[in-house]
Amino acid sequence: MSRSERDATRIVRRWLDAGVTALPDHILSEVLDQLPATPQRRLSWPAWRSPFMSNSVRIVVAAAAVVVVALIGYQLLIAPNVGGPAPAPSPSPAESQAVAPTPSPAPTTAAEFPAGALSVGRHPFTVVGIPFTLEVSKPGWISAPNPDVEGGNVRKGVGTDSSSAWILMWGLDGIYADPCGNEPAPPAGPSVADLASAFASIPGTEATQPADVMVGGLPAKFVVVTIPADIGCEPSQFILWYDDVACGPDAPCARWASDLGSTIRLWIVEVNGTRLTIEAETYEGATAALEEDIQQMIDSIQFE
């Protein structure tokens, strides 16, 4: 005779109620003994870091802040007496050079990736030496270069809630064979298909098979990777893929999972022999409008 659902639930609940509940004292003692050697992780405001933010990026950000302060001082104290054009509304380190008393003629790669809020309209980007433009159709997107990877990110929101999104643009080389163990796999093969296949095979993730798409009128591959809830370590310790340029001592520039349950769409395209990866990450509950906004931006890409 089959038991009713209610009977089965009752039996399961009673079964779960049985068993130990008390944590042995020695476990608690071991935990408390380890506290002094376990530093707390504190985040500076805002409580969010770029998924591939490195020390050098922090230095650039700090430098930009100093330049902004200097610009304000310059405007208040000197500019009224000198005249001349107003500075750009969203100063970046490179833009600041244009209004400084002794401008440097040599723009950096970071200068070719916009910094600051992106107005609605078409904007130029250069990523791993590939120049292109992209149309922003809705407000709220903020752009930040990352000189380490000759690319950067365009984001909306500041966290991992359903209204936030990150679009990262860089040149990726490979994946992590053991994402929780910080163990990179050898670089993927040289083709777009090689890298797309690697993205679809990261242990502990769920991914679609690479699909053929077009980006900027060029053939490209498209893969969707999702971060499940049971990755086995903290998201910030779950390393997904890397750009084989040094971001630290013996460490490639890598990117970790921003949050459990996030969805990362990857477009891989080759332009004049150089491979470019654009990845867009959204979080649980992301609206269709946000997904469409991102897709529109990708569809609007025009390579020069």
Partner 1 sequence: MDTDLVVQAQRGDEEAFASLAVAAGNRLHAVAHRILRDLDLAEDATQQALLNIWRDLPQLRDPARFEAWSYRLLVRACYAEARRTQHWAPGLRLVDADEPMADASTTVADRDQLERAFRRLSVNHRAVVVLHHYLDMPLPEVAHTLGIPMGTARSRLHYAMRGLRAALDADARPASREATR
Q: Provide the binding-site residues for partner 1, judged by CB under 8 A.
A: 1-3, 5, 8-9, 11-24, 27-28, 30-32, 34-36, 38-43, 47, 180, 229-234, 259-261, 284-285
- Nearer Cβ to partner 1, position 16 or 86? 16
How many beta carbons lie within 10 A of that of residue 121, not counting itself? 9
Give the DSSP H/E element, type plus range, for residue 80: helix 79-82
In the bound complex, what is the minimum distance in angstroms from residue 48's beta carbon to partner 1?
10
SS3 20: coil
- Nearer Cβ to partner 1, position 25 or 250? 25
What are the C-alpha distances in Å from 160 to residues 48, 49, 281, 285? Answer: 9, 11, 9, 10
Q: What pairs with residue 195 in β-bridges?
A: none
- Nearer Cβ to partner 1, position 114 or 157? 157
At 87, list the tokens: 């500075």
- Nearer Cβ to partner 1, position 186 or 232? 232
Please list, residue by residue across 272-297, b when 16 or more beta carbons sit within 10 angstroms of its beta carbon and e when fewer do: eeebbbbbbbbbeebeeebeebbeeb
Q: Tokens 């298909």 map to which residue?
A: 193
Q: At 220, give phi and psi (nearest 5°).
A: -145, 170
- Nearer Cβ to partner 1, position 42 or 105? 42
At 269, list the tokens: 């395209």
In the bound complex, what is the minimum distance in angstroms from residue 26's beta carbon to partner 1?
9
- Nearer Cβ to partner 1, position 11 or 70? 11
